[in-house]
A and B are shown apart, each in its own frame.
Chain A
Amino acid sequence: MSARTHAPSELDPAQQEAHFRYVLRLGDTSLVLGQRLGEWVGHAPALEEDLGLANLALDLIGQARLLLTYAGELEGRGRDEDALAFLRDAPEFANLTLVEQPNGDFGQTIVRQWLLDAWQLEIYEGLLVSADTRLGAIAAKALKETRYHHRFSSGWLMRLGDGTQESHDRVQGALDSLWRFTAELFAADDVDERMEAAAIAPALMELAPRWSARIDEDLRAATLKRPAAQPYPWHGRRGVHTEHLGHMLTEMQHLQRTYPGVRW
């Protein structure tokens, strides 16, 4: 390992806990969105979109595997990626509230995707220079995938927003209803602050304006209106979720819960 790496032992106990929580949040966010996108398989509006959404889902689940495996190691209690994914209940999940929201129609799925893609672009780019080189390496791989995800989602946002009256109205409606979950994206808490101080995570305050500028640029191209700011942040990252996550986990974890330890 390089000298820049902050091995868990170099961090004080509060920082170690924050390190675990930080990586867990990133992993859970990718996992939950990947599972949501997987729900589209067999139901997308066209064969090509079916494959496209499945490809995004597989990228995200790949990220989740790397991140959750690492989180399990940082935690040091012997939990691997599967234990973290399949044997935790909703209050232990630390994903952004945005990604657990239901798929809705295709437009809602696209808006959710695009808001998150723009966020992940900033986070992963910031993590490239992380003092934690393992996290930096995961981010470098994920960033390539995320650039394509944003290309995909912003393209659809433009097509739907600047499409027919109906597609415009639907996608604007989705934006209006999902916007309230965006305040959480850049609301730094003690976990973020500890990681920023240790140079492991980028400063959210510095990323927010860049995210915002990208969002405005894409919205302009899509002829959509940015909703008014809603300052109340949701707290999915702290385990306080909307009702939707529990239902999703019931399905996702069904097999492991019914037949503990089952493999195929």
Chain B
Amino acid sequence: MSEDWPLYEVFIRSRSGLEHKHVGSVHAADARMAIEHARDVYTRRQEGVSIWAVRSADIIASDPEEADSLFEPARDKVYRHPTFYAIPEEVKNL
């Protein structure tokens, strides 16, 4: 039966103030059931205080084939990391 149900991606916020993190997916027939399934599958051990569920089909993903052109160009730009810069001795609080 669950093969007929659309897949939802589940995001859980573990504590107030933290961001929602992807934890997995559930099959569900509708939005209400998606939250219930996410609750029953992923929050049994007090893992969270808030749930987001998103239809997997609604997620727009990058193409792994394009990984080279999307991510390679950043590799040689080490100056984008704050650790690239030497901090002068005189600067105490940065």
Residues of A within 8 A of B (CB): 45-49, 51-52, 55, 148, 151-152, 155, 159
Is B29 positioned at the interface, with any CB of A under 8 Å from its CB? yes
Give the CA-CA distance A159 to B41 in the complex, in Å. Answer: 20
Is B28 positioned at the interface, with any CB of A under 8 Å from its CB? yes
- Among B2, B5, B36, which residue has its beta carbon within 8 angstroms of that of A155? B36
Whether A46 pairs with B32 at a CB distance below 8 angstroms is no
| Complex interface: chain B residues within 8 A of A48 (CB) | 2, 26-28, 37, 40-41
Q: Min CB distance, A44 to chain B, in Å?
A: 9
Chain A residue nearest in CB terms to B4: A46
| Complex interface: chain A residues within 8 A of B28 (CB) | 48
Q: How does the 8 Å CB contact mask read for B22-64 relative to A, with 1 for contact and 0 for none?
A: 0000111110110011011100100000000000000000000
Residues of B within 8 A of A (CB): 1-2, 5, 26-30, 32-33, 36-37, 39-41, 44
Question: With A45-B2, A48-B26 in contact, do A55 and B32 touch (Cβ < 8 Å)?
Answer: no
| Complex interface: chain B residues within 8 A of A155 (CB) | 32-33, 36
Q: Min CB distance, A58 to chain B, in Å?
A: 9
Q: Min CB distance, B48 to chain A, in Å?
A: 15
Give the CA-CA distance A47 to B37 in the complex, in Å. Answer: 9
24 contacts across the A-B interface (CB closer than 8 A): A45-B2, A46-B1, A46-B2, A46-B27, A47-B2, A47-B41, A48-B2, A48-B28, A48-B37, A48-B40, A51-B37, A51-B40, A51-B41, A52-B36, A52-B37, A52-B40, A55-B40, A55-B44, A148-B39, A152-B36, A155-B36, A159-B29, A159-B30, A159-B33
Give the CA-CA distance A151 to B36 in the complex, in Å. Answer: 9
| Complex interface: chain B residues within 8 A of A49 (CB) | 37
